[in-house]
Structure 1
């Protein structure tokens, strides 16, 4: 009897240790899985997860083996069993089950959260799985294949409508032989059922030989004919692109199709047959579908050349120009006018996966724009959430991420030539307030409201600066 009780006690001890180890490994597995889904740190985490899975498999095999090989006890042996040990074992087993359920519920909720609203790496993975397409890039020479070649390759993977509009611009980089090095554009149109379809298209030869297409992106479709893509095809056929870039003797060149737009300098006006239209009367502004050709990062060294398609369907848009009948432009999240003529705007230079990179441009006559900062956000990408200048030197930019759920504020004190990120981390009262608005000046001091973004309520925190935005301090909550 004593021997049997000793055996039973040893079995109980092993069972308790088994339960504790199982719960510990189960916790580690879900903890690391949550980190993986949230941040996507693959290396070390995947090794830990693999080790946990091996443990679960071995544990399951041992459990099944014990159940199969366990001898059937006689009634007398059953009576001899230590009832107290059995109760203790059952309690520990129940505790282990409850802990496992709690771990599953707690981290399961976190993992689910990481898979929604771009709250984690899992959400981006699911988004790509659903909307990302890869197309073989066969027609990759801009001289030989034109824009039609790109559209043809994309249509091999996704069927796009014939009538397409741009959200912003169509940018492309190519070498002296016409080989396309990169391209970015965001297109939309109506499918056969009249439903909106969007296509975020990008290509980078240094990263992949495939064209990347993201479907079902966010766009504000106004179907403005100024942003039609089709005139781009005609422009590329009629504009002497190869001859233009041959004058620069560089390794890479860029083109930017703006849609219908006006420029007052370095513009060559073309009719539908490719003939040059003279515009000697400077009292007139000619507006057409415009293509800019330039050397990237050498805008100060080489003046961009622009080709504008005027004839045909666009002939009626030639109009008298003077300040009285020019259309006043209002400030927005991507454009700000400091005075009647001086303005700043953020121009999209690349787009991918719902995020964009920008260049900062300036105008002193509301017509001609010059790039003054190729990368004002210092490598960060997202969606511009605001731009403002309080004087000719001091200004701020906003960049939002994760669908507008959070963002950053950037400050310049040299008129936009350089920007630095404003750090609110150390002074925040509540970390959930993470989407700053544009600062404003009142009584010689600067103020900024920081909200919770698209994933929070409308409450904001008010901060104040007495040194032109270098440092800030919390003032109060604003409903």
Structure 2
């Protein structure tokens, strides 16, 4: 009646973990959801869509965690072997550990490894048996070669391929993650000192940005918009500014924004080394700053009595009708134009969403 000494705790644990994690039905499920998780991570890093993909990724993580908990629970059921000093005895009818008997009639299959066997009984009971034991009398029981190395290879392949895809999406602007990392590296946060547009103004915003990142001597824009409440509290800031050096060579672009309110703006500074955007004097930011020194924004807002208002600048504009049009001069004079078309750098003061109902006030630069 062959006997084997009880395996050491370390060897027994390794055999059980190897079988459960890399050689069982749980292996297939774990690999499937592990692969799916990497696919979702690839999608997130490539195109984003966080609202759709993050819940699915969280679900995969929950399933994987649940499977691992199940595997650990099965492993815990085997602890009586770890805590026992009694020998394992294999007979023609039973596998015995001390007084506890496991009928071989309940043996489902035998997993064979290079140095031993794993006997799998009903109720997820796994018992290791040394490889020098004679199991030839168990001819009627299925003997399945251990495939844990194959499962481990698949796991490593999924990991390497998934990590490579994420790395690819994170470099050279191949995916959304790359753009996000680039923005994180180039973004700065500039403090305005106040969230009130009447106090800060566009000049205060540009000054704060200049203090933070250092602007070129020539600045050009045709895209600037600031939304604020009736009391002046800013709710949204957006500006895209081109920076030019002393020779009026394009050097940087600046994306300035804040969609969450508060007394700060995010500045995304990007280097630019071509002449795709030549300097256009008519779109120089100085016209916006000069006009804003004279435009009575707070007074107009109070007259309209609307809760939400906005300032917008889109560069040089042409106007065929003079309604609510005002010239603004370098000396600060504001007066209506004569009848006829009007053209020039234009600031609009309007009520968002009510442009058709309430005609915006438009201020046009006049030399």
2:37 pairs, out of 32, 37, 46, with: 32
Separation in 1, partners of 2:353, 2:17: 69
- Asked whether the equivalents of residues 137 and 150 of structure 1 are also in contact (C-alpha less than 8 Å), the reply is yes
Q: Deviations over 1:186-241 (max 9, x none)?
A: 112136896621111222345x6542333338994222222211111110001222
Indicate which of 204, 227, 240 corresponds to 1:186. Answer: 240
**Helix, strand or coil for the counterpart of 1:189?**
strand
Aligned to 2:330: 272
- Classify the secondary structure of the residue corresponding to 1:231: helix
Shift of 1:150: 0.8
Q: RMSD between aligned alpha carbons?
A: 4.4
Distance 2:300 2:133 in 1: 94
**What is aligned with 1:17?**
20
Residues 119, 11 of structure 1: alpha-carbon distance in 2 compared, 3 angstrom cutoff:
closer
Deviation at 1:35, TM superposition (A): 0.9
Specify whether residues 226 and 3 from structure 1 end up closer, same or farther in structure 2 by C-alpha distance, changes over 3 A only.
Answer: farther
Q: What does residue 248 of structure 1 align with?
A: 304
Alignment correspondent of 1:2: 2
Q: Greater CA radius of gyration, 1 or 2?
A: 2
- How far residue 19 of structure 1 moved from its aligned partner, in angstroms, is 1.9
> Residue 248 of structure 1: CA displacement?
1.1
After superposition, the C-alpha distances for 1:419-456 in whole angstroms (9 at most, x for unaligned) are: xxxxxxxxxxxxxxxxxxxxxxxxxxxxxxxxxxxxxx
Q: Deviations over 1:275-330 (max 9, x none)?
A: 24564364xx553322111222222222222111212xxxxxxxxxxxxxxxxxxx
Sort the Cα spacing of 1:205 and 1:105 in 2 relative to 1 into closer, same or farther, 3 A.
closer
Q: CA deviation at 1:272?
A: 0.7
Judge conservation of contact 1:135–1:154 (CA < 8 Å) in 2: yes
Matched position secondary structure for 1:270: strand
Deviation by residue 1:40-71 (Cα, 9 ceiling, x = unmatched)? 44456347548868969x99xx9xxxxxxxxx
1:293 to 349, 358, 365: 349
1:132-171 → structure 2 map (5 Å cutoff): 132-166=187-221, 168-171=222-225
Instruction: Name 1:414's counterpart in structure 2.
Output: none
Instruction: Report the equivalent of 2:226.
Output: 172
Q: Is the alpha carbon distance of 1:115 and 1:163 closer, same or farther for their aligned partners in structure 2, counting shifts above 3 Å?
A: same
1:15/1:309 CA distance change after superposition, 3 Å: closer
Distance 1:90 1:212, change over 3 A: farther
Give 1:89 deviation, angstroms: 10
Q: Does 1:198 align with 2:269?
A: no
Equivalences for 1:328-343 in 2 at 5 Å? none
The residue aligned with 1:403 is none
Match of 2:104 in 1: none
TM-score (norm 2): 0.62
CA contact (8 A) 2:195 2:264 kept: no
Between the aligned partners of 2:289 and 2:17, the Cα distance in structure 1 is: 76
- In structure 2, C-alpha distance between the alignment counterparts of 1:132 and 1:170, rounded to whole Å: 18
| Deviations 1:100-136, CA, capped at 9 Å, x for gaps | 2332344334434543576655345424433333333
Contact kept in structure 2, 1:147 and 1:233, CA below 8 Å: yes
2:57 equivalent among 18, 25, 45: 45
Picking from 224, 229, 235, the partner of 2:285 is 229
- Provide the rounded CA distance (Å) in 1 between the counterparts of 2:284 and 2:350: 22
Offset of residue 163 of structure 1: 1.8
Gaps of 5+ in 1: 63-77, 312-479
Higher relative contact order, structure no. (Cα contacts within 8 Å, ≥ 6 residues apart): 2
**Conservation of the 8 A alpha-carbon contact between 1:27 and 1:103:** no
